[in-house]
Structure 1
C-alpha cells in the first residue's frame, strides 16, 4: 500500500494500480485491508475517469465488506478487468509473502 500511495500522489496511475493489485492479493484475508485496496482502486479510477473501473470498484467494495471472511478468489488482482470470483495465479513477486 505504501508503494501504491506514493505512486498515486505522483499521479502515476498505472504504477499505483499495479501496487494496489498486489495489495489486494496480500490483503484479501483481512476485511479491512481487502476493502482498503478496493477503496484506493476506486480513487485511481476516479482520477483516470474510468467509469467501468469506478463502477466495478464500487461493487467490489461492498462485496469485500460482506464476503472477505467467507471466501475470496486466491490470487485475484481485484480490478474490474477480471471476474470478481475468478482465482488467478499469484504473481511471483508475492509468493514470498504468502508462503
Structure 2
C-alpha cells in the first residue's frame, strides 16, 4: 500500500497504541494486547505501521516473559518487513502468535470502515 494510506491510517493506529499504553499503565496486559491487535489490523497494509506494531508486540512479549509470543513476533517482524509492500498479508489477521501468520480473518466492521476510508483518503 502507498504512503498516502500510511498517513491516512496513522491517527487510528496511534489511537490504538495509546490505548495499549494506558491499559499497560494500569496493569491490564490482556487489554493492552487487544489494542495492539486492533492496531495491527488497521496498519497491516503499511510496511511502517505493520513492522512497528509487531515490534511493540515483541516488546509486550518480553515484558510479560512470553517466550512463545516473542518467537512468533520475531518471525512476524521479518515477514512484515519483507512482504507488506507486495500486499502479501492476510487481511484481518490480528498479528499475535496465537494465530497462524498466514490466516486471513474477518475484520470488525468498525475497523473495516476506517481502513476503507484510509484507502480512499477520506
Q: TM-score, normalised by structure 1?
A: 0.92
SS in 1 for 2:19: helix
How far 1:47 sits from its partner (Å)? Answer: 1.4
- How big is the alpha-carbon RMSD for the aligned residues of Structure 1 and Structure 2? 1.2
Q: Which has the higher helix share?
A: 2
- Unpaired runs of at least 5, structure 1: none
**Aligned residue in 1 for 2:26:** 10
1:60 aligns with 2:76: yes
Q: Distance in 2 between matches of 1:3 and 1:32?
A: 19
How far 1:94 sits from its partner (Å)? Answer: 1.4
- Unpaired runs of at least 5, structure 2: 1-16, 117-122
**Aligned residue in 2 for 1:91:** 108
Q: Distance in 1 between matches of 2:25 and 2:56?
A: 12
Question: Highest Rg: 1 or 2?
Answer: 2
1:31 aligns with 2:47: yes
Aligned length: 99
1:48 aligns with 2:64: yes
* Higher RCO (CA 8 Å, separation ≥ 6 residues): 2
**Contact 1:28 / 1:68 at 8 angstroms: preserved in 2?**
yes
Q: Distance in 2 between matches of 1:11 and 1:21?
A: 17
**Contact 1:8 / 1:44 at 8 angstroms: preserved in 2?**
no
How far 1:12 sits from its partner (Å)? Answer: 1.9
How far 1:9 sits from its partner (Å)? Answer: 3.3
